[in-house]
Structure 1
Amino acid sequence: PISGVPLGHEFNSFVLALLQVSGRAPKESQSVIDQIKAIDKPLNFETFVSLTCQKCPDVVQALNLMSVINPNITHTMIDGAVFKKEAEDIMAVPAIFLNGESFGNGRMTVSDILNELGEGPDASEFEGKETFDVLVIGGGPASASAAIYAARKGLKTGIVADRIGGQVNDTADIENLIGVKKTTGPELSSNLEQHISDYKVDIMKGVRADKIQKTDEGTDVTLNNGATLKTKSLIIATGARWRQLGVPGESEFANKGVAYCPHCDGPLFEGKDVAVVGGGNSGVEAAIDLAGICNHVTLFEFGEEMRADSVLQDRLRSLPNTTVITNAATSEITGTDRVNGITYTDRATDESKHVELDGVFVQIGLSPNTEWVGDAVQRNRMGEIEVDRLNQTNVPGIFAAGDCTDQRYKQIIISMGSGASAALSAFDYLIRN
């Protein structure tokens, strides 16, 4: 069922649902379809969305598909902008409820949902896999590039990923991928998966790497379901996620006024006062977008001046409902049942100040997804994997690429190049060893 008008990004979800009900075969693997069919208890899902949310269609389409495959599963999409009373306490979308209880927030694929339900890929599905020449960990642009380059060299290649596309899935418009004037994150992610599928690459979705162990024959990779994969060379390309402020109130009010995606959650703050923390390009772009929806936007920048491109700064300062506060160190996000303000220290005077508002959008960069690596390879103080110009780590046979490394610039096109470099270096390593 649909509660609302299926327009915006949800129009495709509506059309796809009609096709699936009419008998169109799902694109999921038979293994995933069998996992869905095996669910033998009633599951009633509800998903609150906004029509501008780029993450929401993935969740809606995943749950729609599951409900088509298994009659024990139902799903209702609810447009929070239409059903404002029902969505009053929901400050981030997509918000997913199962049988009336909170189930999850943010983008979730079919595999993610099955894992959350305890129905994910079993370790037995990975038994008997032969040793890979190259195993790529991660699903973003760097890992896609690495997998394709390795496969084109005739190497037995596998890729392990929660989802293909990684952080790119949460990116709105992409206009700096040379040769492609404009695309979106979800569209690029879909293209990456299709391109990988054109080659002999063993794509293992819905699982994560938990541990790596160097051996005499290569590297053993233990997955979160307990399975172990063996590979002669390894490429780590697990990307990065939104960096958190780490101040009181941030985690307490997550999805209750603290948000990280202005495109997805901005409409939930229509007519309200919000803050954006971060004066780089992402922060200023977020503030500009939110100014068109919200009553007032206050941007907080830690430094003495914003770091965004001058054209973006000029655009922001031209808007009548925005304020820029520099030299501001955020110290606390306040609230009761939801956010009601932000406290910061004026670094010039050391004076503590408070601004009342309804939401805080954090835009302060990225943190590498490398905690699981431990001390298997050398990382810097930021957690980034240290690599040389050939994308080699300090451990022979283990390479790294993309935003999880210490490469200076975190850009899609640079990550793609580093993925290719890592694959070529792995090939060179294999022929010499």
Structure 2
Amino acid sequence: MIDSLLVANRGEIARRIIRTARRLGVRAIAVHSEADADLPFVVEADEAVCVGPANPAQSYRNTEAILAAARSTGAQAIHPGYGFLSENADFARTVEAAGLIWVGPGADAITAMGDKINARNLMAAAGVPVAPGTTEPAADLAAAVAAAAEIGYPVMVKAAAGGGGMGMGVAVDEVALRTEYDKVRAFAERMFGDGSVLIERYFPRVRHVEVQILGLADGRVLALGERECSVQRRNQKLAEESPSPAVSPDLRSRLLAAAVRAGEAVHYRNAGTVECLLDPATGEFFFLEMNTRLQVEHPVTELVYGLDLVEEQLRVAAGLAPTFDPDTLAPRGHAIELRVNAEDPKRFLPGPGTITTWVEPTGEGVRVDSGYVEGNTVTPFYDSLLAKLIVSAPTRAEAISRAKAAVARFELTGPKNNLPFFAELLENEEFTSGDYDTAIVSRMR
């Protein structure tokens, strides 16, 4: 096993990785910005190094400062968490060139999946279903208009280098396409340094279902079930569950097999996620993208499969076999995750501030992965995620009941938060029936 691990991230996920590292006897090293010096992940690490000011470009995305911290602390490996540098192929290569272990997929896999058009083409060649769309960037507006006419409206206009629900727009006709194309291209150039645009069929009613994959050290790629991620605002997830209430045994078999083919096509190692769009009317699914990292929502898979994905990541990176038998591992029960964010529960706009009350719910089947404690200040510099409230139970109905009780017991004052939204969601008939799609939040508002 790795003996020392630098966690190149912050907040909830840094604290989560540090918890597993310390359980395994691995020396955990935190890096932090000046703004995060008092957060729990810094306090709980065996060692901590300040890598710069609040601005992420000068701290959590500062590759030179992070590598310097790794050298000064004698770290053997680097875990990037999610966001920041986690899907930066150049950083992965630099880490390995420095003689350190990269806890994640190979840089070539990150590169292959980082461009949505290239990823679509690779997946199509591997026999993974992809939605009708362009096989090369729409070089200009005329090319986008021609592509949309061939695909048929409505279409999704997407930044080829985008991710995390950013850089997307829907066009219902040519007039809208002209506006969305310019908007997405400008956003992509500003955010990703790449203005390439993809045109793809848009499905007005669709579900967002993803498969957790794990590429083992011996070369095998496993599919560890699916997660339903259709509760979204602005194309970004708010709640997830596993298994998906929309997936039948036959569909699950096809979905998981396709995810394994996707991983095998890029010789995938370590943890990753194959995201798909599911048409509930036809049962067809289409490849959306592959996230070459650990996902925010990984706990629901952990609770259903009874494993620690961070531990499995470390074992793969160290060249070790998994803790489980891949031939006998099977899911049990149901799990739901709610992302508790520092944002108002109606418009979902950020609401930072100092936490004056923080009491986490406890009880059977209740887990909280948090990045803050009472007295901490939530700053405006980073993602609004405060904590993940995860519940598990033998059945979906019982999991919903436990989630309701846990939300009611979660005491949080100071910054704005979306706990009232979750109380509403868990009573919503569309959600409780299991027959919902990615527009559920807009219908609730």
The two structures have a TM-score, normalised by structure 1, of: 0.26
**Looking at CA atoms only, which structure, 1 or 2, has the larger radius of gyration?**
1
The two structures have a TM-score, normalised by structure 2, of: 0.25
